[in-house]
Amino acid sequence: MCGICLNFDSATKTEAADKVPQLQKIEHNLTEAELYTGHAFLKKYPTIDIHAHPGRFFMVGPHAGSALDKHYTPPFPDQAISDMAMGGISAVMFATVADHALLGISKTGMGAQRSFNPGEALEDHNRQISVLQSLVQNSKLQHATNKHDIKLGHSNGAVSCIFSVEGGDFIEDQLDRITEAHCNGVRSITIIHYNINQIGDTQTETPFHNGLTKLGQNIIREMDRVGILVDLAHASFEASIAAAEVSSKPMMISHSNIAQSNDTHPRLISLEHAKLVTETGGIIGAVPAGFGQKNFTDYIDTIIRMSDLLGTDHVVIGTDMDFTYKPVFTSYHDWALIPAALLARGMHEHEVADIMGRNFLRILPD
């Protein structure tokens, strides 16, 4: 959820409260021929958004809600799913938000306002998984649990929905809940979100655990065992170092960007942080958020810069769609713009195919 920490002063708070669904026209300087190339690319290759909250689906339900929700429109998953089909994307990783009930505005932007009540974390996790299951049942979404599902869906012109969870809070100290999550179709868990939980420290708060806890280490080992990707987005650098020492599988940071010399935003990562993940074979999801990026062209610059620094084998797309800070890419209806722009900037087709989907498919457990 909200992969970018929101710095809410009086101005930005007004922007966050804007009640218009994110379907703005994206300005670009692509020609008709370049746009055609982008659409043709989507038909040829599977393309995947590895982290998103389409239509803010996690807010659906009579028991949903947090202090944060008043700053946003009601959820609109049907519109988001329609945009996916129109835009030609192959698969989206729908992320539930484990600590959603706790979140509100804090001095650092967004953070937990309280602790979980007994049983609350698991109950809300189950609610959000039920929402995902209902979305799949009542729409044209295909539930994908492996790379074969995604490739088959792409060949059939379907949009695949991959379940993920942002925050491992619901696991508490019960490792069997990881197996249960896998059985429910979850294929990635962002182990720490904005709440400092039983697993480790978030990058936007003062450290409490100084990295990962022993329980957190065991949770990562169990995720590796059952076949759930470890997502280190939001985890502190120290927690990420410890995770790299524990995990035996490629990991990912699903939605963040590498800081430049003048960037100070707490959700950005250093090149050292990124390479800690990519050197294990992992991937980093470039996110179109509004810090250090004012428009769509800036986002394409970011993808290219990250590719130059990390190699195109380790960069993917993680939009954090529909719940990120000042997004510069706002609708799946315009999905073809990303490959079209990368190709127009001189990237080879195979490199764009890697970034748009094949890198994720490489690390997705069978």
- Domains along the sequence of the chain with CATH: 30-363 (3.20.20.140)
pLDDT band at 65 (very low <50, low <70, confident <90, very high): confident
Does residue 70 carry a pLDDT above 50?
Answer: yes
For the segment 135-172, what is each residue's pLDDT rounded down to a tens digit?
999 999 999 999 999 999 999 999 999 999 999 999 99
Average pLDDT value for residue range 215-227: 98
Structure-token pair, residue 272: 């050292």
Tell me the C-alpha to C-alpha distance, in Å, between residue 179 and each of 15, 49, 101, 154, 195: 40, 24, 24, 28, 23
The per-residue pLDDT for 110 is 83
Average pLDDT value for residue range 172-177: 98
Does residue 2 carry a pLDDT above 60?
Answer: no
pLDDT band at 284 (very low <50, low <70, confident <90, very high): very high
Does residue 318 carry a pLDDT above 90?
Answer: yes
Q: By the 8 A CB rule, do 276 and 241 touch?
A: yes
The per-residue pLDDT for 7 is 32
Nearest by Cα to 241 from 217, 261, 268: 217
Phi, psi of 176 (to 5 degrees): -65, -15
DSSP states of 121-160 as a string?
HHHHHHHHHHHHHHHHHTSSPEE--SHHHHHHHHHTTPPE
The per-residue pLDDT for 13 is 31
Q: By the 8 A CB rule, do 203 and 180 touch?
A: no
The per-residue pLDDT for 62 is 73
Tell me the C-alpha to C-alpha distance, in Å, between residue 73 and each of 56, 102, 290, 322, 356: 9, 19, 19, 10, 29
Q: By the 8 A CB rule, do 351 and 303 touch?
A: no
Give the separation between CA 285 and CA 315, rounded to whole angstroms: 6
Average pLDDT value for residue range 9-35: 57
pLDDT band at 361 (very low <50, low <70, confident <90, very high): very high
pLDDT band at 332 (very low <50, low <70, confident <90, very high): very high
Rounded to the nearest angstrom, the gap between the alpha carbon of residue 101 and the centroid of all alpha carbons in its chain is: 19
pLDDT band at 68 (very low <50, low <70, confident <90, very high): confident
Rounded to the nearest angstrom, the gap between the alpha carbon of residue 191 and the centroid of all alpha carbons in its chain is: 12
Give the separation between CA 352 and CA 10, rounded to whole angstroms: 40
- The single-letter DSSP state of residue 67 is T
Does residue 19 carry a pLDDT above 50?
Answer: no
**Which are the contacts of 56, defined by CB distance < 8 A and separation ≥ 6?**
72, 73, 75, 76, 77, 322, 323
Does residue 8 carry a pLDDT above 70?
Answer: no
Structure-token pair, residue 75: 């959820």
Does residue 248 carry a pLDDT above 90?
Answer: yes
The per-residue pLDDT for 263 is 82
**If you average pLDDT over each of 22-26, 289-293, 330-334, which comes out highest?**
330-334
Min mean pLDDT across 18-27, 30-39, 95-104 is at 18-27
Does residue 22 carry a pLDDT above 60?
Answer: no
Mean pLDDT taken over the chain: 91
Min mean pLDDT across 138-142, 235-239, 288-292 is at 288-292
Nearest by Cα to 236 from 209, 262, 201, 263: 201
- The single-letter DSSP state of residue 354 is I
**Which are the contacts of 129, defined by CB distance < 8 A and separation ≥ 6?**
96, 163, 181, 184, 186
Give the separation between CA 142 and CA 325, rounded to whole angstroms: 29
Give the CA dihedral 264, 267, 268, 271, nearest 10 degrees: 120
pLDDT band at 108 (very low <50, low <70, confident <90, very high): low
Does residue 77 carry a pLDDT above 70?
Answer: yes
